Amino acid sequence: MYYLKIYLAAVVAFLAIDMVWLAVVARGFYRKHLGFLLADQPNWWAAGIFSLLFLAGLLVFAVVPSLQAGSLRRAVLLGGLFGLVTYATYDLTNHATVKGWPWIVTVVDMTWGTVLAASVSAVAYLAGRWSG
């Protein structure tokens, strides 16, 4: 039950932070740089599955070890690293394989993945400390 509470806190934080990003910044940015590739409507199933897996990985590799160590700083650093690596996997693979993939998208996405994951890790860590 303890880990479920942490996971749910991470889900809420992820949705809140990512929705602001998507609504305020990303929509126009991605349309401008990747409009030629974008679908008319997102595939919500794929987005949902990614989010659930991403958050599970974030908890396993960043939040839980940081709770065990009792370190918010570690949660933020490991979470940021996890975000950087996961977003880099997507963006650098696209950059390597998709003709015309813009460098600006790679850089912005990797930065966003780092910030998002570090932030969600901090919230999940604090939720774990609070409910533990």
pLDDT: which is higher, 47 or 72? 72
29: in domain: no
125: in domain: yes
Q: How far apart are the first and last CA of the chain?
A: 10
Distance CA 103, CA 117 (A): 21
What's the pTM?
Answer: 0.92
53: in domain: yes
37: in domain: no
The mean pLDDT of the chain is 94
Contact present, 125 and 11 (Cβ < 8 Å): no
Residue % of the chain over a pLDDT of 70: 99
- State the virtual CA torsion across 73, 21, 47, 123 in degrees, nearest 10: 30
123: in domain: yes
56: in domain: yes
Q: In total, how many domains does the chain have?
A: 1
**Per-residue pLDDT for 132 more than 80?**
no
Chain segment 20-45, per-residue pLDDT in tens: 888 888 888 999 999 888 888 888 89
Q: Which amino acid is at 40?
A: D
Q: Hunting for tokens 């990797």 — which residue is that?
A: 110
Contact present, 47 and 19 (Cβ < 8 Å): no
Q: Which domain holds residue 50?
A: 2-22+43-131
27: in domain: no
